[in-house]
Structure 1
Amino acid sequence: MLAKLNTGKLKVFPFLFFFLIVNNCIYSQKKTDNLDEKLPYKTVREVEVKPEFPGGMEKFYKFVGTNFKISDKEPSGKIFAQFIIETDGTLSDIEIWKNEVGIISGQEFIRVLQKCPKWIPASDNGKPVRVIYMLPITLQGIK
């Protein structure tokens, strides 16, 4: 009878051991995958010196207006782009966050942002930092 009791424990032990390993791996992964603990970039509100387009936003919108190719039948609306301004002022991870106009206009806005000159990067404690930036443009279609 004692031998039967030991074999029952031996059958449960490998299962329990496997469960503990899997559970520990899942818990560890959840803890290290938490992006709230450390983001690879900061928001504009978190930095001392905000990023700036050379010459200011008026020059930026002039740059966009000059380089944005729009068709005669383009509808009116807003496009919101989100991107990262790197520590050297280049733009990366450009994506359209919201588009009220259409896919072609969104792709064109991405093309123009990729062509954009370097920005003056944000800084915190005197050091350049990466920041995420969201920017709208408004298209006024020709009627």
Structure 2
Amino acid sequence: MDRRDFIRNGTLLGSLVAITGIGINSACSAQTTNALADDLPFKKIVKTDAEWKKILTPEQYRITREAGTEMPYTSPLNDIKEKGIFACVCCDLPLFSSKTKFESHTGWPSFYAPIRKINVREKIDKSLLETRTEVLCNRCDAHLGHVFDDGPEPT
């Protein structure tokens, strides 16, 4: 499914803080990472809902901790054209480079690859009528968006 079909169907879901891209509704081509916490090059971050609510805005919490969707064209990340790194709003793990950002014409920042495959993980999402692939930060499990196959190579 491509993101334009997804939007036309009126079932928008999944975007983040900083991302809509990884082949993802948020757009990227990340591989599934089923690594055990012991195999990760970073320590997993686990917080209670109350702890997350203390450090995130209500909108950041809704999107990243409850798999919400920001309204299209509302993210300040859409307008960022400078070179740089897009990091997780919850744990600051580097997720995407500006080199892999592309214009998806959907109103969400989109990326076709993560900085490191291990930094993101994919999860099957059956919350709507169709099965989708959700992308999460692999350090803190923040919702980043969904994979879509309509981006530039290598998505």
| TM-score calculated relative to the size of structure 2 | 0.23
Question: Highest CA radius of gyration, 1 or 2?
Answer: 1
| TM-score calculated relative to the size of structure 1 | 0.24
Instruction: Decide which structure has greater helix share.
Output: 1
Determine which structure has greater relative contact order: mean sequence separation of CA pairs < 8 Å that are 6+ residues apart, divided by chain length.
Answer: 2
Instruction: Decide which structure has greater strand share.
Output: 1
